[in-house]
Structure 1
Amino acid sequence: KSPTIQNPIEDAITQLLRYQEIGEKFKGQGAPHLFEPAQILIATCGQVSMFATMGTIHRHYAEWKVPFPMTLDELAGTQPITAKGMYGLGLIHKGRKTRKGGETPLQSKGGATPPLQRIPTPQDVLLYGMLYPDNLLDIVRNFTVFEVVGGTTVKKVARYQQFIAVNRAIERILSAKSPARRGGIIWHTQGSGKSLTMLWLTVKLRRIAGLENPTIVIVTDRVDLDKQISGTFERCGFPNPERAKSVTDLRKLLRSGQGKTIMTTIQKFQEATGKLHPVLTEEKNLFVMVDEAHRTQYKSLAANLRRAMPNACFLGFTGTPIDKKDRSTIQTFGPYIHTYTIEQSVKDRATVPIYYESRLPNLRVEGETLDTIFERVFKDYTDNEREEIKRKYATIEAIAGAPRRIERICLDIIEHFEKYIYPNGFKAQVVAVNRDTAVTYKATLDRLGAPESVLIMSATHNDPERLARYHLSREKQQELIERFKDRNDSLAILIVCDMLITGFDAPVEQVMYLDSPFKEHTLLQAIARVNRTAEGKDYGLVVDYWGISRCLQDALGIFHPEDIEGVMRPKSDELPRLESRHRAAMRFFDRVDRGDMEACLKVLEPEDVRAEFDISFRRFTQSMDMLLPDPSALPYIKDLKWLGKVRNAARARYRDPSLDLSGCREKVRKIIEEHIQVPGIDRLLEPVSIFSERFDEEVARLSSTEAQASEMEHAIRHEISVRFEEDPVFYQSLKERVEKIIEEKRQERIDAARQLKLLQTIKDEMINVHKVAETMGISETELAFYNLLSNVVVGAGSPRPFSPPASLKVAEEQAPYGEKKEPKKELAGLILESLEKLSVIDWIHKEDVQRQMRRQIKRHLRAAGYKLDEIEPLTTELMELARVRLGR
């Protein structure tokens, strides 16, 4: 798309969605079967470029930000290209070495051109990164999978960080000077597709001939993660993922031949007291991928892993960075292969930013002595009551689980959830310090009438009745988890303490109510539950009741600052952004009287200005949505309502569908809608069709001739746009006349009064088109066919005058006086009659019926004396008209 049009990327993606008929509103408007062989879809306008695959919904379109194997500087030409980069571009062939160790430039293998000599645009980066022949073939062959999700097959292609990580891992494996140096660590922040990265690395390892179909072992530290990863492999059709049930079973699988993919847990490598772990295999053609490789249990069992598979290549995957003091993880796996940080993921929209908010500070239990905490939490009790409680609650965890404290938190959770989260259709997770406290949360939320919740926790045979009543089978737990993940299901709150805190993926979860002490890696993993993307989800939120946010720097102090940049942001950080976005939206009207709606609408008349205003308005509403109903946002509500009113008035005046409220979240939309439904305002904001009896009355209400002409102009433009395909020739002629009137007004050849009069004439012609058909004795549909036959529209160009064939002219000339025939009208009737006979139900989706229709049209046109070079394009135009007129 041209970068000069309004919302070019939005238009491009919407067009691709329409062609594929993705969404109910696009049914019958495209040709989805044409996209089935397409590998990659690209929407680009130069400054923004996004890619996807067939069937991808709007929010999953992504950018490709690195022109791998080159760097951005190499692509720009500001740095010399390395041999690796030149080979990737096809500028050199591998194997020809220079004396300095480089490779000799030869003729390009695939007609590749040298890099740019300018700053690369996002379009350049995507084209070089994805579409250079070697990369494109690699993506198609090794980085595309079909995953079955909910009974639907979904095509997925790698994002740039996955593509680079896998290829760098392969490069290290193939170029290492010793087997011990083949491994390393891939740190890709949680929610960015780590399981698929493991899958694609496995696929590529399988397909490298020199590796001779290796065996691959995938190690996790929990059964649920083991199932999650194996489930991803199985859903993507990856052959033979097998789960080892024991060490003996693992040894058997490892020794039963090459080419297996084996799933196992780290617990299989626990060493018996006083014994060395047995060697399971000495095979060299073995790759061990360890998920969440930073965890403590891996450090203690690393020696057992090495001893069990002494010649294997170890590849560590982690969703959190390696901490400053951690040397064992690097020693076990090797240095980083590739990193993809939290901040990068948010910028790429692979995840949403996480904000935190501390609530009920008097109830926090972190960072003070037990006595201090006790005095603060129970300050409202009498001395006798406090003494009794003190004997009962002798630990911090016991204080945390006190029913009075939990009740106050639950009341706050219900209020917060129903005001902030639930209106936008999202869900919540409550994290308790232990199972007993989790049960208290569940019972209290139920008693207080909270939205539907479920408690999922581990169980033991010795649990007391209070806990045992909440025991669930594994099958029942899975059923409830699936309900929670379903946005349309009423199950809204998930209560946990020792399960579903890490490795749990539910995009519908927006808020975590945290009442448990987390630090370091566990904290990073826990809060990432709310960072998954979902439709309408701009951020995740951690609400802290424990007090961890007060010690956030200490909790994350073991990491390098650059590794955890952007991990959690105080919700208060949004206030300065709100102030800035408010100013950006209001500045459009700095030079006009804000009480004069016509003056404000005049500001928004240019399409490019409306596009800029729309972006500013949406950003302002995002910040308002995040903060409302916080008191800090209340001063901005008046301007929010006013801007919403102006925006809706502009939508009505300029018939601009992009200015609807669909992009606003429910909380903000409700405020605006309640305001614009006030009597007097709603009428102003309601677009009226020129075919409505009220139209002239509504135009007359406007205060000036200029405003009346503007309303008339945009109403006509809108109707032409909506109805154009119903009679292309007629509406194209009207469109050209409107453009001419507008140009004459712009050059001040006519005034607003004359402009209004000319536009009124065009409006009357549109309304009375049926009278033209009646005068000719034909239907409006026949009239549309007649117009095409009289004035052929070729492709997307302007109409060209039609010269009737000689046979038609002769027929007209030989007709007796007073009985002059109209062969074109008769031809239109014959063609329409033939098509109506063939138009069975759903014919627009039946190629055999359309083939018969085209034959009939061509037969009639040949009989009427049309030339061969006119018949084909005219047949195409008549078929398009038939789809519109007869395909309803």
Structure 2
Amino acid sequence: MRLITEKRDVQDRVIEYLQAIGWEYIPPADLQEKRGFDIKEPFIVEVLEKKLKELNPGIITDENVGDVVRRLRLIPSTFTGNQEFLEFLRGKKTVYVDKERRERNFKLIDFENPENNHFAFTKEFLFEDREKRRLDIALFVNGIPICDFELKSPTLWEAEEEAFEQVRIYNNVLPELFKYIQFYAVSEGIRLFYGPTWKYESKTLYRWKVENGFNFEKLVKTFFDKKEVIETLRTYIVFMTIEEELQKYILKQHQRRTIAKIIRRVLEEKKKKGLIWHTQGSYKSLTMIVSADELRKMPELENPTILVVVDRLELEHQIYQNFQAYGYPNIIRAESKNHLKELLENDYRGLIITTIHKFEGIPKHINKRENIIVLVDEAHRSQEGDLGNYMRASLPNAYYFGFTGTPVDKTKIGRGTFVAFGYPDEPYLDKYTIDESIEERTTVPLYYTLAKTELHVDKETLEEEFFRVVEEEGIASIEGINKVIERAEKLKAVLKARDRIDKIAKHIAEHYTKFVEPLGFKAFIVAVDREGCALYKEAIDKYLPEEYTKVVYTSDYKDNELLKKYHISDEEEKRIRKDFKSPGKLPKILIVTEKLLTGYDAPILYAMYLDKPLKDHTLLQAIARINRPYVGKTCGLVMDYIGIFENLQRALAFYSKDVEAGLIDFEKLKERFKELVKEADDLLKEIDLGDETKRIQNIIDYFFEEENRKEFIKIFKQIQEIYEILSPDEFLRDYIEKYKLLVQIYEIIYQTYNPEAEKKRIRRDILKKTEDLIKENIELLHIADNLPLYEINKDIAHTIKADKISQRVKIASLYRSIRIHIESKRKESPYLVSIAEKVEEIISQLRERQRSVEYALEELTKIAEEIAKAEKEQKESGLSKEEFSYFWILRRHGVKAPEKISKDICKILAEKEHWMFNENVERELRREFYKLLLQKSEAYTSQEDTQSYAVRESGLSYLSLDIVKLVNELLGIDKIIKGGA
């Protein structure tokens, strides 16, 4: 049985699946020929020119097609160049047509008829720019490279992360190719991940899902379905400049699904509304924008009117900027109630952005057209008061789609939302829940914890002046909450008592510097009102450097001196918002009350210090600011100074399993930590850790079994995540020595059974506080020094035999020793790398119980002796590293006069340097090797082989498996020498 490999088990399957769905496979040699053997050529030029003329009759001709291709080549090899090329792809660029004496748009792709396009792919696509690199699979539409598909073996540790990193490196060193490539995919033959090129962050690496999550064939065939790829290029890739920084997005499946459902509903005309719940942080606004753009372009709708309705002026401004950043045409903001009335009366066609409040008092049936589509943001808030009724009465035949980032509750507002946007048999048109977003790493879970009880508001005041009023008045917006707080004199007096604020400020400063700042993250302080913000700034400046904090609120010319002290200009606010997102810039904490609690996306935001009463949607919406993924961020943390979370059912009318997955009591973490440590203890009871002279050996021996390793690693990673959140809580004091031991055991497992980790001392899966713990503790930092390691020399067999440890520990130590030795000698002795596969084969057979421990130890010992002998001989041979590598392989295969033949092989390879990127040249090279070996047929010790070769010396129609295997090994070594494998 052959070993699992990237080529056999992943690449070959991808080739098969792509061909099955209509992609043409072009072998590397054929593609090289089409590229004129120019490895700097990104296009399949003959295909590109042909399709340009076919798709643009009378516009692009034989005379000007070359000029168009030249224009494509001159696009800058930058992120903005990638954006510009997408505009080319989408037919937004023009060419001058002499006959018509005018500019005409031209197509690179036929989006209306996908089958009119040419879909092709190749493997091992060699390209030269700053460096020479090979893409595993490159996909082309109409001769243009549009996707890099990087593959890894399913046996590789952290395969998808390695592939993701590889794409990022390729983008950096091959910008002349990647200025065209719009998206990438990576896979280890089990799962498939994808993302946009030029924007490599962990949060943009998405997993493609099918019903059977591990059906690799279905994953490849659905993701690379020709219509899906065309739609991705036409619709699902978005460039936007947000706060002066260019961003690139590729829509996820829940977004694609929702856009398709909205379009289907409008076209079918059977139902006129739909409710979409996409949890906070899942790019709901982007879904709305792309939906609006798709509806706008549909010829069936005959130039529709699209209204985007929000409930706050700040959000109106923000979504207007987002539509502008997207490049949406014909956008207009309704400046007033009268302006909105005029636009609808005058039958305006295009996009109108308005607040729900501007519908107040608008006449009934002001526009009865059916091709009006209303997209309502935060749909539950549109049901507050009679504003939703005014809107529907004014546009009786419109389509209404409500978007919400929070689940709809069971209150009056919630019931109204379902009636307004849903149907009894269909509460939601589409749903993307908190637990789905956490599972897919779109968001991270949130933990809440209560500050000291004496800092809380008394329950009676909170109930009387806040909870009861909010429920009775049916309030769902932050403005409504603010009006309630304005009237709550007793509540405000408690919350803004200077002594209380001073105590909380001191607590925040201590908590931030101990728990949050060491992680490199930032925080919000949410005060009860604008005056509360100013008071917090005054107080916290006593405990933290003044530049750590900034206040952001709306200014008013009537403000008193305290409030005016913290007024900022629009430009300054813009700078603060941008700098806050940057890990290396100040401020580290923002003090807010209303601004930035909705719509502000800062992934570095980790902690929210909450001192403002909020409820239901406003509470979930505010705390969702901290649920965005970021490097090293496993969760967000809410510190509650009000006491809101004492009664979660009271705070969240929709409290249910939909919310539970994303909102967890911090105290439960401590219980979970105890449970996990107990699980680890139970696992480690099997190991004798008492004898300090043998405990490392005992650990290696126990974790020789792969199932034991997997179980421990699973437990350890969960413990580490909780340690990251809790540290330096005094709760951990009783566990710190135990945790250090678990870190040591994890390090031993990792470095013994994944020896390549020696190159990366602190790895990606070690989180920040554990990394700091390792650096601070000498016994953790140098754990590898105590791991058994054999010196590879001629006496190794005697050393192993004399070693008084178990055979399993000998195997683990010898395996690690050989792997590290081969890696360290890779450049000077490339032939050794070919041994690694044999080593892995022995270990694989051992794991699968196909071989005994005794057999494995004996074989590994022989390999170690062979390495030592070969290295000694190499030093004495006088051959170059290349010549000795071929000599060594030839001799292993029983070839006579291997020294002479190795020199001949070097000469042949020097003449065909790029054979591995051209199958025709590779075939010629193999024939030359076969002929060389046949001419030297007497070189073989095997009489049977010699006779076989002598018979067919000229025709080569018969080759034994031995000679094929030998040539494969020779070519494999040349790949290693050239850095190609």
- TM-score where L is the length of structure 2: 0.67
Among 704, 717, 734, which residue is 1:635 paired with? 734
Aligned residue type for 1:509: L
In the alignment, which residue of structure 1 is the partner of 2:612?
Answer: 516
Structure 1 residue 828: Cα displacement = 1.6
Deviation at 1:877? 7.6
The letter for the 2-side match of 1:605 is F
Q: Which residue of 2 aligns with 1:329?
A: 417
Alignment partner for residue 549 of structure 1, among 632, 645, 649? 645
**8 A contact 1:513–1:544 mirrored in 2:** yes
| Consecutive unaligned residues in structure 1, runs of 5 or more | 68-119, 374-392, 792-798, 805-811, 813-819, 839-843
The answer for unaligned runs of 5 or more in structure 2 is 11-151, 466-487, 935-953
Q: Does 1:396 align with 2:491?
A: yes
1:344 aligns with 2:436: yes
Aligned match for 1:590, one of 674, 679, 685: 685
Conservation of the 8 A alpha-carbon contact between 2:159 and 2:188: yes
Instruction: Tell me the equivalent position of 1:156.
Output: 250
Q: 1:649/1:7 Cα in 2 relative to 1: closer, same or farther (>3 Å)?
A: farther
The CA distance in 2 between the partners of 1:122 and 1:821, in whole Å, is 50
| 2:906 pairs with 1:828 | yes
Residue by residue, what CA displacement relative to the aligned partner does 1:129-160 show, whole Å, maximum 9, x if unpaired? 9459598368536751232467556340322x
Shift of 1:827: 5.2
SS in 1 for 2:558: coil
Rounded to whole Å, the distance in 1 between the matches of 2:904 and 2:589 is: 69
Report the counterpart of residue 225 of structure 1 in structure 2. Answer: 315
What SS does structure 2 have at the residue aligned with 1:447?
coil
Compared CA separation, residues 214 and 724, structure 1 to 2 (3 A): farther
TM-score relative to the length of structure 1? 0.73
**Any idea what the Cα deviations from partners look like across 1:239-297, whole Å, max 9, x if unmatched?**
444444445655666688876233233343344xxxx5487644321111111121167
Q: Is the contact made by 1:53 and 1:157 (CA closer than 8 Å) also made in structure 2?
A: no
CA distance in 2, matches of 1:523, 1:751: 61
Task: Give the superposition deviation at 1:865.
Answer: 10
Residue in 1 that maps onto 2:675: 580
Q: 2:100: which partner in 1?
A: none
Kept in 2, the 8 Å contact 1:786–1:824? The answer is yes
Question: Any conservation in 1 of the 2:382–2:388 contact (CA below 8 Å)?
Answer: no
What is the alpha-carbon distance in structure 1 between the residues aligned to residue 234 and residue 852 of structure 2?
59
What SS does structure 2 have at the residue aligned with 1:200? Answer: helix
Could you tell me how far 1:235 is from its partner in structure 2? 4.1
Write the mapping of 1:28-107 to structure 2, written as runs, cut at 5 A: 33=177, 41=185, 43=187, 50-52=193-195, 54=197, 57-63=201-207, 67=211
Q: 1:740 to 1:610 in 2, by over 3 A?
A: closer
- Compared with structure 1, are the counterparts of its residues 574 and 229 closer, same or farther at alpha carbon in structure 2 (3 Å cutoff)? same
Is 2:751–2:784's contact at 8 Å kept on the other side of the alignment? no
1:644: which partner in 2?
A: 743
Identity %: 28
The correspondence for 1:505, drawn from 601, 606, 610, is: 601
Distance 1:61 1:882, change over 3 A: closer
1:725–1:182 CA distance, 2 compared to 1 (3 A)? farther
The alpha-carbon deviation at position 406 of structure 1 amounts to: 1.5
- Pair 1:825–1:624, CA change in 2 (3 A): same
Counterpart residue number, 1:390 = none
Residue number among 262, 269, 287 corresponding to 1:169 in the alignment: 262
CA 1:463–1:802 in 2, change beyond 3 Å: closer, same or farther?
farther
Residue aligned with 2:517, SS: helix
Residue 590 of structure 2 is aligned to residue 491 of structure 1? no
Q: Distance in 2 between matches of 1:533 and 1:741?
A: 38
In the TM superposition, 1:873-888 aligns within 5 A as: 881=974, 884-885=977-978
Q: How far apart are the structure 1 equivalents of 2:792 and 2:216?
A: 48
State the 1:438 CA deviation.
Answer: 0.9
Partner Cα separation in structure 2 for residue 35 and residue 702 of structure 1: 58
Matching of residue 764 in structure 1 with residue 850 in structure 2: no
Instruction: Give 1:403 deviation, angstroms.
Output: 2.3
Question: In the aligned structure 2, how far is the partner of 1:506 from the partner of 1:402?
Answer: 30
Question: In 2, are the aligned partners of 1:430 and 1:494 still within 8 Å (CA)?
Answer: yes
The C-alpha deviation readout for 1:320-357, integer Å capped at 9, x for no partner, is 23332224434443433223333333333322211111
Partner SS for 2:541: helix
Q: Post-superposition shift, 1:646?
A: 1.6
Alpha-carbon contact 2:789-2:816 (below 8 Å) kept: no
How large is the Cα RMSD of the aligned pairs? 5.0
Instruction: Tell me the equivalent position of 1:538.
Output: 634
* 2:815 aligned partner: 713
Aligned amino acid, residue 687 of structure 2? V
C-alpha distance in 1, partners of 2:248/2:681?
43
Equivalent position of 1:284 in the other structure: 370
Equivalent residue, structure 1, for 2:881: 780
Identify the residue that residue 747 of structure 1 maps to in structure 2.
852
Q: Which residue of 2 aligns with 1:17?
A: 164
Secondary structure of 2:718's match? Answer: helix
Counting only pairs closer than 5 Å after superposition, residues 332-731 of structure 1 correspond to structure 2 as 332-335=420-423, 336-369=428-461, 395-450=490-545, 452-557=548-653, 559=654, 561-566=656-661, 568-595=663-690, 596-607=695-706, 609-657=708-756, 661-677=763-779, 683-684=785-786, 704=805, 706=807, 707=809, 710-720=812-822, 729-731=831-833
Aligned-partner SS, 2:429: strand
Partner of 2:404: 318
Q: Distance in 2 between matches of 1:528 and 1:39?
A: 29
- Once the two structures are TM-superposed, the CA of residue 395 in structure 1 deviates from its matched residue by 3.1
2:815 is matched by which residue type in structure 1? Answer: E
Closer, same or farther in 2 for the Cα pair 1:781/1:162, shift >3 Å?
A: same
Per-residue deviation, 1:423? 1.6
Shift of 1:417: 1.3
Compared with structure 1, are the counterparts of its residues 353 and 249 closer, same or farther at alpha carbon in structure 2 (3 Å cutoff)?
same
| Distance change (3 Å), C-alpha of 1:123 and 1:298 | farther
After superposition, give the CA deviation of every residue in 1:201-233 in whole Å (9 maximum; x if it has no partner): 224424544323422121212343234434444
Match in the other structure for 1:144: 236
Alignment correspondent of 1:83: none
Equivalent residues, number: 765
Structure 1 residues 463 and 751, CA, compared in 2 at 3 Å: closer, same or farther?
closer
Q: Secondary structure at the match of 1:507?
A: coil
Q: What is the distance in 2 between the residues matched to 1:737 and 1:651?
A: 18
Whether the 8 Å CA contact 2:206–2:252 is kept in 1: the answer is no
**Judging changes above 3 Å, is the alpha-carbon distance between structure 1 residues 647 and 567 closer, same or farther for their aligned structure 2 residues?**
closer
Deviation (angstroms), 1:711 = 2.1
Structure 2 counterparts to residues 120-269 of structure 1, below 5 A: 120-123=212-215, 127=219, 130-131=222-223, 136=228, 140=232, 144-148=236-240, 154-159=248-253, 161-177=254-270, 181-247=271-337, 250=340, 260-269=350-359
> Which digits, 9 at most, give the CA deviation of each residue in 1:378-425, with x for residues without a partner?
xxxxxxxxxxxxxxx973312322222112111111111122222222
